[in-house]
Structure 1
Amino acid sequence: MRVMHGRPAHGVGATVGKRVLGTLGAVALTAGLLSACDGGEEPPADSAATSSPSPEESTPSPEPSADEQEPEASASGPSSEPSGDGTDEGDDSGDGTAEPGEDEGDGASQGEGKPDKDGDKDPKEEEPEEPDYIEYGEVSNRVGKLQQRLKDLGYFMTSVDKAYGGETQQAIFALQKAGGLYRDGVVGDATQNAADDGVVPKAHTSSGKVLEIDVDRQLVLAVEDGKVVKVINASSGNGETYEAKGATYTAYTPRGSFAVFREVNGMHSSTLELGDMWRPKFFTGGIAVHGSASVPAFPASHGCVRVSNSAMDWIWDTWGAPSGTPVVVY
């Protein structure tokens, strides 16, 4: 039996996890064709890039396969099993009279174990049990508590509204990546423990304001003087080949030390006709960090580094990262 790090691999949790993940792959892979890198300075051709290592070679945790993934806003709410076995023993003790020779207090009344005459059940027995995991769609105080914890740790969260939506899922993906856990967005024991223990990735730089991109763990870190101030879920090049304007390329995100050299404050269409990018900040050739409506838990882009649109707005409007900001990719 495989052990799921983010939740138990049995019972309702496993069933829902597989069901939820089933839809994601097709949508996420389709999204890979809709969000793109710019062709102003084209990414390296296939012959030059195929020798580079796949971005996921050294990923510390198993990746869900493409057909197991879930689009960030398509999952249904949590399912739960009703408590008990669906029957109610009741407490009717018959007509209250005892047969001659019987002891009224011996517990042998005729109605024992049967529903009362009205067939009513205890309302408490009808209430479903709260599942032992948290997943997309749940609205509860425990979700609010988790959101606040993630925000306090520096994972990108803009609100604490007690509703597990797309933004919370992005933060959970980032937490699971930082902790080397299975990236399914479901908060089981291992993921909850990671939040409780304060798991946060470490910076690789020690001075200045730097945008760090961890390709292995698919994370973007906003770092100031060696301190991680924000952790953002990301999706980079998936390592596959693709055709664009008659040429073949490899969806590869290069590693190294770069700097923001061009930025577009708005929606930008790829000159390779690969899709649109929200407020991109280019750091090498046609490769940029940019906002996207689809940021799965696995590599899915043509080489650029996707983050959520709201996270990209934060980079632009709150944190800054103007032209010249160092970008370190590892």
Structure 2
Amino acid sequence: MRVMHGKPAHGVGTAVGTRVLGTLGAVALTAGLLSACGGGEEPPADSAATSSPSPEESTPSPEPSAEEQEPEASASEPSSEPSGDATDEGSGNDSGDGTGKPGEDEGDDGSSEPGDDRSSEPGDGKSDGKGGDKDPKEDKPEKPDYIEYGEVSNRVGKLQQRLKDLGYFVTSVDKAYGSETQQAVFALQKAGGLYRDGVVGDATQKAADDGVVPKARTSSGKVLEIDIDRQLVLAVENGKVVKVINASSGNGETYEAKGATYTAYTPRGSFAVYREENRMYASRLELGDMWRPKFFTGGIAVHGSASVPAFPASHGCVRVSNSAMDWIWDTWGAPSGTPVVVY
């Protein structure tokens, strides 16, 4: 049984959670092929079929030549995340930073809005049954007992500050639940094994209150850890997790590129950053663009993307938000030679 995010069990909470998840999956369907993952280099001339990653990939890759090979395709490992429609575009995000507002047309679930008593609006000459017009203040909707995308309030500010204190990637405590906050909530829900819908109900709030943070696997040095099962990137220093970032890796599906077939697979193992591009980098397999990628094996890189859903959706690379990638470059570092451990 999957652990739900903990929204209240009444009808409104259930409907909203369902709509948010449904919109994220459906809207995402159109964009998986627009993001460049696994497309760092040209494929070899004879790569007409899917190949498997070689054992040599467990060691840092040398600087590729002009004829460098394309990402090594391999048999995919079954993903625990939904992948049949695991693409991530259409998020409605206006900041270029992760998934955006889930759906612009949601709202009518068959029930009237709180306080929407159309038969007795103030000033329409109809009585409220108490001998006078209805007080406009009585029509003010009650605040829902959960937090979701789009809310602007003090409680959102408290949530942002808590997530930031715990190490989740939040740069601004502005009291507005936008794309960056959604990415951090996704990461918290992943770390806590909760339903990944970005809605802060009882269970998600409890995870924040209890200080749920993933543990590092390494114990020394500065390491980028990539947790495939939970779809997280961890910036680790001497065994301490200093930043938790929402991520999206290979979705396990096959795809065609320049006449060859590949599998959207993110290899596990110990690697190191061997090449980095401090710019918007266009995939040589024509799979799209990658923001400031750091390659750690073949054509597989950690890179920024305008769309990072809560599930695997890439061609093999590891997507993080553009602002998170800027933090990795400009604040944390991760230069060539930085260890990358994928598990």
Name which of structure 1's ranges 5-14 and 202-211 shifts more when overlaid on structure 2.
5-14
Rounded Cα–Cα distance in structure 2 between residues aligned with 1:6 and 1:187:
8
- Are the counterparts in 2 of residues 21 and 70 from structure 1 also a CA contact under 8 Å? no
Partner of 2:64: 64
Other-structure match for 1:287: 300
- Cα shift at 1:53: 12
Residues in 1 aligned to 2:222 and 2:287: alpha-carbon distance in whole angstroms: 31
Change (3 A) 1:87 1:232: closer
CA spacing shift, 1:53–1:185, aligned 2, 3 Å: farther
1:184-204 Cα offsets, whole Å, 9 max, x none, are 000000000000000000000
State which drifts further: 49-58 or 318-327. 49-58
Q: Could you say if the C-alpha distance between residues 246 and 7 of structure 1 is closer, same or farther in structure 2, counting changes exceeding 3 Å?
A: same
Closer/same/farther in 2, CA of residues 191 and 163 from structure 1, 3 Å limit:
same
Q: CA deviation at 1:55?
A: 18
Q: Which moved more, 1:22-31 or 1:183-192?
A: 22-31
How many matched pairs? 330
Structure 1 residue runs without a partner (length 5+): none
For the residue of structure 1 that corresponds to 2:17, the secondary structure is helix
Q: CA deviation at 1:32?
A: 1.2
Structure 1 residues 289 and 205 mapped into 2: Cα distance closer, same or farther (>3 Å)?
Answer: same
In the alignment, the residues of structure 2 paired with residue 292 and residue 95 of structure 1 have an alpha-carbon distance, to the nearest angstrom, of 7
Distance 1:64-1:50 versus aligned 2 partners, 3 A rule:
same
Return the offset for 1:208.
0.2
Q: Deviations over 1:50-107 (max 9, x none)?
A: 8989999999999999999999999999999999999999999999999999999999
Identity %: 90
Shift of 1:133: 0.6
| Alignment TM-score, normalising by the size of structure 2 | 0.74
Relative to structure 1, the CA distance from residue 88 to residue 318 in structure 2 (aligned partners, 3 Å threshold; closer, same or farther) is: closer
Q: Distance in 2 between matches of 1:59 and 1:113?
A: 79
Higher mean displacement: 78-87 or 187-196: 78-87
Return the TM-score normalized by structure 1.
0.77
2:93 corresponds to which residue? Answer: 91
Cα distance change on mapping 1:201 and 1:157 into 2, 3 Å:
same
Q: Distance in 2 between matches of 1:147 and 1:238?
A: 29
Instruction: Tell me which moved more, 284-293 or 29-38.
Output: 29-38
Q: 251-260 or 42-51, which moves further after superposition?
A: 42-51
> For the Cα contact (< 8 Å) 1:46–1:250, is it kept in 2?
no
Q: Given that residues 237 and 304 in structure 1 are in contact (C-alpha distance below 8 angstroms), is that contact kept between their aligned partners in structure 2?
A: yes
Q: Which residue of 2 aligns with 1:113?
A: 125
- In the alignment, is the contact (CA less than 8 A) between 1:37 and 1:274 conserved in 2? yes
Q: Which string of whole-angstrom CA distances, capped at 9 and with x for unpartnered residues, describes residues 263-307 of structure 1?
A: 000100000100000000000000000000000000000000000
Larger mean Cα displacement after TM superposition, 141-150 or 51-60: 51-60
User: CA RMSD for the aligned pairs?
Assistant: 16.4
- 1:127: Cα distance to partner? 1.7
Equivalent positions of 1:21-40 (< 5 A) are 21-40=21-40
Aligned partner of residue 30 in structure 1, secondary structure: coil
Change (3 A) 1:267 1:13: same
Distance in 1 between residues matched to 2:95 and 2:172, nearest whole Å? 54
Contact kept in structure 2, 1:46 and 1:249, CA below 8 Å: no
- The 8 Å contact of residues 52 and 74 in structure 2, kept in 1 or not, is answered as no
In the alignment, the residues of structure 1 paired with residue 13 and residue 66 of structure 2 have an alpha-carbon distance, to the nearest angstrom, of: 20
Assess, with a 3 A threshold, how the Cα gap between structure 1 residues 59 and 154 changes in structure 2: closer, same or farther.
farther
Deviations 1:162-205 (A, max 9, x none): 00000000000000000000000000000000000000000000
- Post-superposition CA distance 1:2-41 (Å, at most 9, x none): 8733423542111122223333223323221111125444
Range 242-251 or range 64-73, more displaced:
64-73
Return 121-130 or 253-262, whichever deviates more: 121-130
